[in-house]
């Protein structure tokens, strides 16, 4: 159960990254596919790190890979992150307050009262990884957070995709 619930939260973070890729335009399907691959790897590693006894097969079930694909191609977290990626360069100040306001404005405009889960999950996961000094082990989650809340350029999304995770992380899988 813990694996399925964690997949449900973590896929929304990856969907933010997918929206950032889509917002860049012209990145192509390979970039988004690479993001999904690394996203699934980090989801699996996160669960292996923080939840004992997770069935690795969970990630290939509907609650894992299938839900990740669906969310990264059509979900509200992806759509709103695409809008964020297109709007962020227009902001003069790109601090955390400006980013939070932009997310709030996008939610209000696009979601008709619904809320994004990806932004909340990204904040919580980042805080946990930072407190355990594990940010370098999860480069995609870190990069998504830094774009979403520190105003880093959206183009840096590829930094989280193409950085090879540390061997210590891969050994947990």
What are the tens digits of pLDDT across the range 14-34? 999 999 999 998 777 889 999
What are the tens digits of pLDDT across the range 41-81? 898 888 888 887 776 666 666 556 778 888 999 999 999 99
Q: Which of 11, 90, 123, 152 is catalytic?
A: 11
CA distances from 112 to 52, 78, 98, 121, 166 (A): 38, 16, 21, 20, 41
Give me the DSSP letters along 110-156.
Answer: HSTT---SHHHHHHHHHHHHHHTT-GGG-HHHHHHHHHHHH---GGG
Which tokens sit at 72?
């990264």
11 in catalytic set = yes
Per-range mean pLDDT, top range of 12-21, 51-60, 84-93, 158-167: 12-21
């Amino acid at each position: 159960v813990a694996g399925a619930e964690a997949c449900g939260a973590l896929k929304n973070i990856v969907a933010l990254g997918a929206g950032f890729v889509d917002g860049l335009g012209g990145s192509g399907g390979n970039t988004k596919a690479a993001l999904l691959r690394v996203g699934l790897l980090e989801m699996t590693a996160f669960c292996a790190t923080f939840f004992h006894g997770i069935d690795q097969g969970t990630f290939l079930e509907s609650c894992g890979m299938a839900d990740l694909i669906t969310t990264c191609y059509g979900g509200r977290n992806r759509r709103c992150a695409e809008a964020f990626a297109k709007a962020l360069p227009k902001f003069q100040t790109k601090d955390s307050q400006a980013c939070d306001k932009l997310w709030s404005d996008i939610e209000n405009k696009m979601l008709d009262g619904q809320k994004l889960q990806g932004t909340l999950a990204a904040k919580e996961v980042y805080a946990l990884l930072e407190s355990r000094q594990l940010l370098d082990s999860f480069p995609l989650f870190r990069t998504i957070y830094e774009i979403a809340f520190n105003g880093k350029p959206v183009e840096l999304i590829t930094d989280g995709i193409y950085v090879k995770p540390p061997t210590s992380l891969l050994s947990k899988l």
